[in-house]
Amino acid sequence: MLFPPLLLLTGRRVRLYSSSAHSPTQLPRPSPSIGSPSRIRKLIASQRDPLLAEEIYGLSSSFLSPTSSPIQALILKFARACRFSLCFSLLHRLPSPPSPSLLSSLALTFSRLSRPDLSLSAVRLLLLHHPPDLLSPRIRRRLISALSSHPSSLPAAHSFLHSLPSPDLPSINLLLRALCRNRSLSLAIPLFNRIHLLGLSPDRQSYHFLIQGLCRRDQITSAISLFEEMLNRGLTPDFLTCTSLLNALCRKRKLREAYKFLCRMKLWGCAPDIVHFQTLIIGFCREGCPVDACKVFDEMPGSGVLPDMVSYTSLIHGLCARGELYKANGYLMEMLGKKMVPHFSVFHALVRGFCVAGQEEEGCSVVDLMLRNGVVPHEETWMYATAAVCEDYDREMLDGIIVKMARDDERRRSTRIAKAGPSIDDVINRLRNGSLRRPLSKS
């Protein structure tokens, strides 16, 4: 037999069936229980409805102590659900003072809900029962993060940090970042200098936060001096620090210094990317120096950076604004050769520049190029084109064509301009056949 009879399993083995009757023996049943405190805490934390979580806690309160973890999970559940009255009511019903972990979590929750007043109340309650010098570094950082999340509670965060006998560098960096974002340099600079007085050494984040704050207040000279101090200490600048300095130099119109800064970035171990090149190209174009912008643009491939749509668009607009139309047209052809079709405003800038300069043939060729790439011309673009090729149309007829094209919803949804009407067909045929006429005189 493959399996022995169960009735023969006697002796020291467990007897599954009785000898007198062939019915199972009655095993003792365990006493009913909801679960362990950790399981109750997880069950309360997993509920989306805070009132349902309160009912679960009420059912389990008969065998759980009021200072256990489930009541703390319920307090946090009420706080995250914006049931602040229930949260504080349950908090004050605790027989013993709340733990620092619970109060710091409450302070962070209130700060994320944009309630700095409640966050400050939670911090005051924590400091009432627990001295600051006995708090762990993790609790200190959580309190500083909660207080520094809103400008109204920044003085409290600053006072709390100064009350600590030996604050660590991550706590100082948290407050330093908040002060610089709030542009409170009168507090940020002394806090940065205090790092040296505490026997600590500022790291890369400390320099980054203060440099960024100085750049936001346009104190570029102080920012450059601090950046040089950072390099002398052997710290490698990060991407955001270089971006902030480059933007500040371009805003202050110090483009030569910005170009030198861009060239030295590789020596500092921070290779420039497309954002840095675009910042400098836009800065040169805004100052009316498109030739220098072209120089920066041509250096991009050598640095391993390929220009994108924004780079071409900014450069073409800058060249058209200074009358460098043929060079701008060359960059447009290069752009189209890379299968990048620009916005209609790029074509319009070239058409307007060529037509205003009396070079209607080049302007109409740009319009033809625009149509072949499926870009819908603007109303003013059509005005320049029709005035260049259609001298036998009177002014009212030209205005009628322009208004019809501007109001035609089908034309705006489709790139097939030929459906707009026979008059537009005539204009397009003349554009493509090169039947140029002198532009109409403006009445």
Proportion of the chain above pLDDT 70, given as a percent = 76
The whole-number pLDDT of residue 441 equals 38
Cβ-proximal residues to 412 (8 Å cutoff; 6+ apart), any chain: 376
Confirm whether 358 is domain-assigned. yes
Q: Does some domain include residue 115?
A: no
Nearest partner of 71 among 48, 90, 52, judged by Cα:
90
pLDDT at 24 > cutoff 90: no
Whether 229 maps to a domain, the answer reads no
For the chain, the domain total comes to: 1
Closest CA to 367 of 395, 393, 388, 394: 388
- Assigned domain for 421 exists: yes
Mean pLDDT of 47-68: 68
Question: What is the separation of C-alpha 377 from the centre of its chain, rounded to a whole number of angstroms?
Answer: 34
Q: Worst-scoring range by mean pLDDT, 41-50, 118-127, 165-174, 254-263? A: 41-50
Decide: residue 177, CB within 10 A, 0-12 exposed, 13-18 middle, 19+ buried: buried
Residues 254-273 have a mean pLDDT of 90
Question: Quick check: is 388 in a domain?
Answer: yes
Residue 111 resides in a domain: no
77, part of any domain: no
Whether the CB-CB separation of 324 and 292 falls below 8 Å is answered with: no
In a domain, 277, yes or no: no
Residue 383 clears pLDDT 80, i.e. is over it: no
Q: pLDDT class for 45, splitting at 50, 70, 90?
A: confident
* Helix ranges, 233-376 (H): 239-251, 255-264, 274-286, 290-298, 309-321, 325-337, 344-356, 360-372
Chain position carrying tokens 């033809």: 368
DSSP state of 440: P
90-146: per-residue pLDDT in tens? 888 787 888 899 899 999 999 999 999 999 999 998 988 888 888 899 999 999 999
Of the pLDDT bands very low, low, confident and very high (cuts 50, 70, 90), residue 4 is very low
- Tell me which of 186 and 385 has the higher pLDDT: 186
352: domain range?
Answer: 343-443
Instruction: Give the mean pLDDT of 319-327.
Output: 92
Q: What is the C-alpha separation between 327 and 333, in angstroms, rounded?
A: 10
Q: Which residue has the higher pLDDT, 439 or 323?
A: 323
Task: Give percent helix, percent strand, percent coil of the chain, each to the nearest 5.
Answer: 65, 0, 35
HSE (CB half, 13 Å, CA atoms) of 87?
23
What is the Cα–Cα distance from 255 to 239, expressed in whole angstroms?
A: 19
